[in-house]
Amino acid sequence: MICNNLSVNGEGHLTFAGVDTVSMAAKYATPLMLMDESKIREKMTIYREAMKEYFTEDSMPLFASKALSFKYIYKLADSENIGIDCVSAGEIYTAVQAGFPMEKAYFHGNSKTEDEIRYAMESGAGHFVCDSIEEVSVIDEIARDMGITQKILLRITPGIDPHTHKKISTGSVDSKFGVAIETNQAYELVEKTLALKNIELMGYHCHIGSQIFEYDPFCDAARIMIKFIADTRDMFGFTAKELNLGGGMGVRYTEDDPEIDYRANIRGIAEIVRSLCSEYSLNMPKILMEPGRSIVADAGMTLYTAGYLKEITGLKNYISIDGGMTDNPRFTLYQSPYTVLLANRMNDSCDYKCTVAGRCCESGDIIQEDVMLPKPCRGDIIAVLTTGAYNYSMASHYNKVPKPAVVMITDGEDHIVIKRETYADMIANEV
């Protein structure tokens, strides 16, 4: 199977993190998201240890919490001694409620409002990652009002176009994020930032995109950014202490995706950073990385109950489920591949082609097209694998469908970390 936390038990049921998924569906109802705590910790550990070993002792991963933001995950990040990347006051609020040490939080976003900036400062968010000179000036003013000096990184666009879906590619010169080196605006940004009194410029950030399998684009980004550090040292006498290389390493959604050795990738990127630093006579900066998907994706799966089977003679078969684009919009948005299994009949042969259709009034509400399953019947449990990243965090209330429960498996024990929403929850703010 595509991940080592999956297996099949004696009853022919799919197991995940050692528990029977069919009994989880019976206990908690569906749609249900299951999360594997040991997988999350394993990935956090790989990043933490490899970064310390290959970069510098103080280098550290920041969990990109846009991939999955809820209190428990910030507690895990804290207990694994890593930092976090937040992109909104809402994510900051959730982390604060979880008791996360906010000096290890990096506040991102290309459109931070003044209220959010103030709130992040009051919460003690350690660093801001800034996107434009206008934004840096607003942060400087607010920091002055509050009598503090705010540490920041500048988000630089390295001009790299990795091979991934256009909607999740961010490193090219025309991106809405960051300021480009190619147009020289990045240099102007550094110069202007250095003149501000309530800003302490710590270094630079770049992020080239998401779900990237090749390792070369990360190396190219590192090369460009180290040269940028050397150039801005030579131009302005300022040496960046920190370099944040962003997130983006891919995960396996299906057997067709390659397996990624995250540790080996980090080692390879570090070799390039090290040799360039010595070429440019720089001390290696503290390196940060922002993995989101690769920390949580395969630590999650979603269980649905099969509804009606619609066979359109000579054309197509649809099996409907009790969830869909409201809990997983990724096929609708990006035609993302997923592995789909019939969790309660894992030993039956997969000889029936069908499309897994969500419940929303929208033709595009599909979870996966033309998958091979045992012919599904009403009441079967359909498992969609690798849904830990950008599923719950992108869930919506379209068609007034409540969000599913999230159950964490910790050392073989299941416990609720997000309750299933009720209809009353959904109208709580309606007057």
**Pairing mode, strands 60-64 and 286-289:** parallel
Stretch that binds ligand LLP, among 37-45, 146-154, 279-287, 289-297 (CB under 6 A): 289-297
Distance between CA atoms of residues 253 and 114, nearest Å: 39
Applying CB under 6 A, does 67 fall inside the site for ligand LLP?
yes
Residues 325-344 that bind ligand LLP (CB under 6 A): 330, 334
Applying CB under 6 A, does 365 fall inside the site for ligand LLP?
no
Applying CB under 6 A, does 207 fall inside the site for ligand LLP?
yes
Applying CB under 6 A, does 294 fall inside the site for ligand LLP?
yes
Q: Which is nearer to ligand LLP, 213 or 318 (CB)?
A: 213
Q: What are φ and ψ of residue 106, in 5° steps?
A: -115, 120
Stretch that binds ligand LLP, among 4-12, 243-251, 358-366, 403-411 (CB under 6 A): 243-251
Q: Which is nearer to ligand LLP, 203 or 292 (CB)?
A: 292
Distance between CA atoms of residues 72 and 429, nearest Å: 24
Distance between CA atoms of residues 20 and 356, nearest Å: 22
Applying CB under 6 A, does 390 fall inside the site for ligand LLP?
yes
Let me know: does 44 contact 78? Beta carbons within 8 Å. Answer: no
CA 344 to chain centre: 30
DSSP, collapsed to helix, strand or coil, labels residue 74 as helix
Q: Would you give the DSSP letter of residue 274?
A: H
Distance between CA atoms of residues 280 and 365, nearest Å: 52
Sole binder of ligand LLP in the list 31, 158, 159, 292 (CB under 6 A): 292
Applying CB under 6 A, does 217 fall inside the site for ligand LLP?
no
Sign of CA dihedral 401, 407, 408, 412: negative
Applying CB under 6 A, does 168 fall inside the site for ligand LLP?
yes
Token digits of residue 91: 């994510």
Distance between CA atoms of residues 351 and 141, nearest Å: 64
Length of the chain: 431
Binding-residue pattern over the window 100 to 139 for ligand LLP, x denoting contact by CB under 6 A = --------x-------------------------------
Give the E-state strand segments of 123-240 in sequence order: 127-130, 150-157, 179-180, 199-205
Catalytic residue among 3, 130, 361, 377: 361
Binding-residue pattern over the window 142 to 161 for ligand LLP, x denoting contact by CB under 6 A = --------------------
Sole binder of ligand LLP in the list 247, 300, 388, 404 (CB under 6 A): 247
Let me know: does 31 contact 322? Beta carbons within 8 Å. Answer: yes
Sole binder of ligand LLP in the list 64, 153, 319, 408 (CB under 6 A): 64
Distance between CA atoms of residues 12 and 165, nearest Å: 36
Please indicate whether residue 350 is annotated as part of the active site.
no
Q: Which is nearer to ligand LLP, 85 or 380 (CB)?
A: 85
Q: How many residues sit in the footprint of ligand LLP (CB under 6 A)? A: 22
Interface residues with ligand LLP (CB under 6 A)? 64, 66-67, 85, 108, 168, 170, 207, 210-211, 246-248, 290-294, 330, 334, 389-390
Q: Which residues are catalytic?
A: 361
